[in-house]
Chains A and B, each alone.
Chain A
Amino acid sequence: MTTSIPKPRIRFRGLATNEIGLTRRDYEGAMSTLCAGCGHDSITAAIVRAFWELSIPPHTVAKLSGIGCSSKTPTYFLRDAHGFNSVHGRMPSIATGANAANRNLVLIGVSGDGDSLSIGLGQFCHAIRRNVDMLYILENNGVYGLTKGQFSASADIGSRPKRGEPNRQPPIDPVLLALSLGATFVARSFSGDRDQLVPIIKAGLAHKGFAFIDVISPCVTFNDHEGSTKSYRFTREHKREVVHADLVPLRSEITVDYPEGDTVGVRMHDGTTVRLRKLAPDYDPRDRDAAYAYVRRCQAEGEIATGVLYLDTGAPDMHGIDNTTATPLTELPFESLCPGSGELEKLMAQFR
């Protein structure tokens, strides 16, 4: 038995190469073993594309995850990067340690709503506080998939499971949480909107510090039925037409395929469409309070705000806060770390 099927490495002539001569295939990983149509696979594809477009050498990346469906996905991209599938909800501390040791590593963490908002809520919050230099993607589907469909902490009040009682507890919105904790890059996107997601991932990778992207990624097996607030049907019945703008372009190649002030219909796996709203034209992603209020307002109205919602490029990251030396700690020569026998002898005199 295996849940990881290697893909053959075949070089196709004529495939486009990036600045370092690699094709998109060089950024892929093993075959996905997730359910057919899973939103997570679309996110994986967006990650592959973003890294390829940015010409990041795969082996300079470390991809980290916790436990859950989402946490399986680092296997499916960047096969030439070290991966670490750690324990449930604890990926942020692994990332903190990896970043502490080698600040040159490009860190991408993939987590889920159970991983980040329940068992790992504390670690998620504290990685934000530390402003660990990493891209953190939360693949948010409102349910636990591997244990067969229990609600997660991001499930809305009234949302119905396939079987059993509807959810009665208020959801934790990771975007509001990240904003309130002082996150320096907060975005939301949708797994079905590659054209929006890829630029956001690229922007997140470009960000120095903790770049958080909440990606709504519907679960085709456990949370796409009548009564689920993550299903298209529910969304359609509660949608309100409000005009929004999208993300602030960080790089010239970021393009938006819908005009400002419009809503967009996104095709879901089951053929239905969900509306994601773009942000208002006067939206200022550098105003934390306004961003918070805006997202709250959308939520109250049953809408989902997407895009780069907040950005602070001036805040120091974890190493900046501590004034750690620019050379990764892993590369410091031992002689620069160990004071040696002479200093020990001097030190011993202080203990008499």
Chain B
Amino acid sequence: MRDPFLTRTNDFALKIATVNGTGSASANSLLMQAIFRMGIPVSGKNVFPSNIQGLPTWYEIRVNADGHTARSGEFELLVAMNNATYAGDIEELRPGGWLLFDSSWPLPESIKRDDIQYLGAPLARMCAEAFHGGREKLLMKNIAYVGAIAALINVDLDIIRTLLEEQFGARKKALMESNYRAVALGYDYARANFDCPLPIRLEHMPFRDDLILIDGNTALALGCLYAGATVGAWYPITPATSVMDAFRGFCNQYRKDPETGERRFYIAQAEDELAAAGVVIGASWAGARAFTPTSGPGISLMSEFIGLAYYAEVPAVFLDVQRTGPSTGMPTRTQQGDLLLCAYASHGDTRHICLYPADPGECFTMAVQAFDLAERYQTPVFVLSDLDIGMNDWVCRKFEWDDSYRPDRGKVLDAETLEKMDAFYRYLDTDGDGIAARSLPGVHPRGAYFTRGSGHDRYGRYTEDSDAYRDVMDRIARKVDGAADAVPAPVLRRKDNAKYGFISLGGCDAAVREAQDYLAARGVPVDYMRVRGFPFPASVEEFIRGHERCFVIEQNRDGQLRTLLAIETGIARDDLSSILAYGGMPLSRQQVVDGFLAATGLHDGNGMISAPARNGAGERTTA
């Protein structure tokens, strides 16, 4: 039975189930890019296994004319190309939805649902007849489903052809033609056999040339390039690997002498994350801008070095593309599980500057800021992206660059200044901001000092003296405190008369904004603050105290941001409510709304929320 959907133009989600290593990634990006070129707000979430070939993989596409492109979690169209996952995949279809499957083989009886529409297309059989060679038949089958989807939801075929031409260029014209032939196979079959287009369909919107489609890891790499980073060190790890791949690519493009091939960068693929951190610290100590991309397990391994950089006051930039922990966890699923780890990484008293980008645009700008902050405060700085931001393509405003930008190198003494000084003491704060000037090796004999992770006094001498030790530790604490005003300020999104507040960070942003709008449309205004940097600026505490009840929305089990807020503001942890999603999938609006309704006791019957009751207000005891 088909539930007669109202026509939903530019507002639906579809999911494609395939097997990894079969070319489906290319097919999916082609589809995603075509929709982007049609001017329609779109997001694509690649849900892939930690495996090279042969395991199930999914791709979720959501289009939304209003620009809400958080993960949907419900699908109107399911493209089932992997019979191993049919049963589970079909469960995720909304009643009345459509299932496009490869009818080269019959669907097993056991998985029949009677509230969806079946669209069978014999893609494998058609490709087997049209193409030669096992590998080509397999790859083309996946391109063919792009054609069938194009017919079903109205993707512009000319755009698909243009994209294929751009991809393969003139040199691979034959390959381009066979790809397009496969698209046409699927497209023509769907047109001839199904009622195309379906009620869920696309319609061109004005194309905005200020938008781009880019993943967060590429954006981080671009930020490192533009910030003038010259040394990168890393150990391969999902989902951070593509940061260094991209950085290397950009450096080869922009930092290689065209005649001699000489490189103005050095990339060290280290033996492990410990060494990667050491290379970054050594390079920064010597005066270069250096960084390492990694993920949670890498931060765990780097922790000893992070403490050294904190205590010896060496700049270091850590790009943590978070994945699902603990331990190996789920390497190809997303999470915000390293918030506490990064804020206080290493033994002893430490506290680190953290930046929380919400999308690739902020990955670009915050990567640059990370180097400025690391050098100004002579300390480790963490940029906490995640797998969803890092590895998926996001529509965002194109990046801009201010040519007047110059790196903030902080207090670095040059030879001329050192020559004029009577004496130089590395850890002596001469102007009261908690930051002592540093010198670089090889510059001037007077700049020489001994960098060490062992106890030292303000003159840089080894010490085991209580007062001398505390003197330095207290100054470092003051120094890092000072960074609260230098990290990016929170982004506030207010609704009139809101008594509730949402607090979130990073990749939760799209879902939280959508939930906020959803609730406002139903008469429940909620203010929203997205924190972007740690240590928290004073405005973070003001926001919490300015609301009757705040909900901290984040992607981890234990409410790490909530704990961090409690530790840092002194507001009792129990005074903050948590809305948590930690199954490894990007956050959806529904998860936020459900969490909010459950906590407040409000109801969402028939899509409308009843008059807000004063539930829960009495529970709050502000510290």
Measured CB to CB, the residues of A under 8 A from B are 1-4, 57-60, 62, 64, 74-75, 79-87, 90, 92-102, 104-105, 122-123, 125-126, 130, 318-319, 322-326, 329-330, 332, 334, 336-341, 343-345, 347-348, 351-352
Q: Is the CB of B441 within 8 A of A82?
A: yes
A57 to B465, CA, bound (A): 33
**B271 CB within 8 Å of chain A:** yes
Contacts of A351 in B (CB 8 A): 212-214, 398
Q: With a CB–CB cut-off of 8 A, which chain B residues contact A348?
A: 212, 398-399
Q: Which of A3, A90, A325, A339 contacts B274 (CB 8 A)?
A: A90
Closest A-chain residue to B452, C-beta based? A85
Q: Is the CB of B444 within 8 A of A325?
A: no
Indicate whether A3 sits within 8 Å of B226 (C-beta atoms), given known contacts A80-B448, A97-B281, A332-B264.
Answer: no
CB neighbors of A among B257-302 (8 A): 257, 260-268, 270-272, 274-288, 290
Given A330-B288, A338-B226: A104 in contact with B442 (beta carbons within 8 A): yes
> Which residues in B have some Cβ–Cβ distance to A below 8 Å?
36-37, 209, 211-214, 222, 225-228, 230-231, 233, 254-255, 257, 260-268, 270-272, 274-288, 290, 304-305, 308, 398-403, 405-407, 439-445, 447-454, 461-465
Min CB distance, A38 to chain B, in Å? Answer: 18
Shortest beta-carbon distance from B116 to chain A in Å: 35
Decide if B285 touches A94 in the complex (CB within 8 Å): yes
Q: Which residues of B contact A322 (CB under 8 A)?
A: 263, 266-267
User: What residue in chain A is nearest B364 (Cβ atoms)?
Assistant: A344
CA distance A102 to B277 in the complex (A): 17
User: Can you list 14 residue pairs at the A/B interface with Cβ under 8 Å?
Assistant: A1-B463, A2-B461, A80-B445, A82-B442, A82-B449, A84-B285, A84-B451, A93-B233, A97-B231, A97-B286, A100-B288, A101-B230, A338-B225, A351-B398
Interface centre among A81, A90, A351 (most CB of B within 10 A): A351
Tell whether, in the assembled complex, residue B230 and residue A93 are in contact, meaning their CB atoms are under 8 Å apart: no
Q: Are B286 and A330 in contact (CB under 8 A)?
A: yes
Q: In whole angstroms, how far apart are the Cα atoms of A75 and B454 in the complex?
A: 13
Contacts of A130 in B (CB 8 A): 268
Query: Which residues of chain B come closer than 8 Å to A326, judged between CB atoms?
Result: 262
Kindly list chain A residues whose C-beta atoms are within 8 Å of the C-beta of B37.
352
Closest to B267 in A: A322
| Contact residues of A: prevailing secondary structure | helix
Partner of B461, one of A4, A74, A97, A323: A4
Given contacts A83-B451, A96-B278, A324-B262, contact A102 B228 (CB under 8 A): no
When distances are taken between beta carbons in the complex, the residues of chain B under 8 Å from A104 are 442
Could you say which of B285, B308, B406, B464 has the most chain A C-beta atoms within 10 Å of its C-beta? B285
- A96-B281 Cα distance, complex, nearest whole Å: 10
Q: How many A-B residue pairs have CB under 8 A?
A: 236
Residues of chain B with a CB closer than 8 A to A318's CB: 266
Cα A1 to Cα B447 in complex, Å, equals: 25
Q: Give the chain A neighbours of B285 by CB distance below 8 A.
A: 84, 94, 97-98
Q: Which chain B residues border A79 with CB–CB below 8 Å? A: 448
- Residue pair A102, B453 in contact (C-beta under 8 Å): no
Most chain B CB inside 10 Å of its own CB: which residue of A101, A123, A324:
A101
B441 touches A96 (CB 8 A): no
Task: Specify the chain A residue showing the minimal Cβ separation from B464.
Answer: A1
**Beta-carbon nearest neighbor of B227 in chain A:** A338
Is A337 a contact partner of B230 (Cβ separation < 8 A)? yes
A83 touches B450 (CB 8 A): yes
Residues of B contacting A345 in the complex (Cβ-Cβ under 8 angstroms): 398
Contacts of A336 in B (CB 8 A): 255, 264
Cα-based distance from A62 to B286 in the complex (angstroms)? 9
Q: Is the CB of A3 within 8 A of B275?
A: no
Tell me whether B263 and A352 are in contact (CB under 8 A). no
Contact partners of B451 in chain A: CB under 8 A: 82-86
The reply to whether B283 and A59 form a contact with Cβ atoms under 8 Å apart is no
CA distance A352 to B34 in the complex (A): 10
Query: A61 to nearest B CB, angstroms?
Result: 8
Given A325-B264, A352-B37, do A58 and B212 touch, yes or no (CB 8 Å)? no
Whole-angstrom CA separation of A319 from B263 in the bound complex: 9
Given A82-B441, A326-B262, check contact A344 B213 (CB 8 Å).
no
Choose among A75, A85, A319 the residue with the greatest number of B CB atoms under 10 Å from its CB. A85
Q: How far is the CB of A75 from chain B (nearest CB, A)?
A: 6
B contact residues around A329 at 8 Å (CB): 230-231, 264-266, 288
Residues of the B chain whose Cβ atoms lie less than 8 Å from the Cβ of A83: 448-452
Q: Which residues of B contact A99 (CB under 8 A)?
A: 282
Given A1-B464, A59-B445, A94 contacting B266 (CB threshold 8 A): no
- Contact: A123 with B278, CB < 8 Å? yes
Q: Kindly list chain A residues whose C-beta atoms are within 8 Å of the C-beta of B308.
A: 86-87
| Contact assessment for A126 and B209 in the assembled complex, using a CB-CB cutoff below 8 Å | no
Of A79, A96, A130, A345, most buried by chain B (CB within 10 Å of CB) is: A96
Contact pick for B441, options A62, A87, A122, A334, CB 8 Å: A62
For A82, give its contact among B257, B262, B448 (CB under 8 Å).
Answer: B448
Whether A126 touches B270, Cβ cut-off 8 Å, given contacts A330-B287, A344-B399, is: yes
CA distance A254 to B272 in the complex (A): 40
**Shortest 8 CB-CB distances between A and B: which pairs?**
A97-B282, A93-B278, A101-B288, A82-B441, A97-B283, A94-B282, A101-B286, A97-B279
Closest to B449 in A: A82
- Residues on A with C-beta less than 8 A from B453 are 85-87
- Name the distance in Å between B38's Cβ and chain A's nearest Cβ: 12
How far is A83 from B265 in the complex, measured between Cα atoms in Å?
24
| Shortest CB distance B419–A (Å) | 12
Which residues of chain A are near B462, meaning CB under 8 Å? 2-4, 75
Q: Which residues of B contact A338 (CB under 8 A)?
A: 225-228, 401, 405
Which residues of chain B are within 8 angstroms of A2 by Cβ–Cβ distance? Answer: 461-465
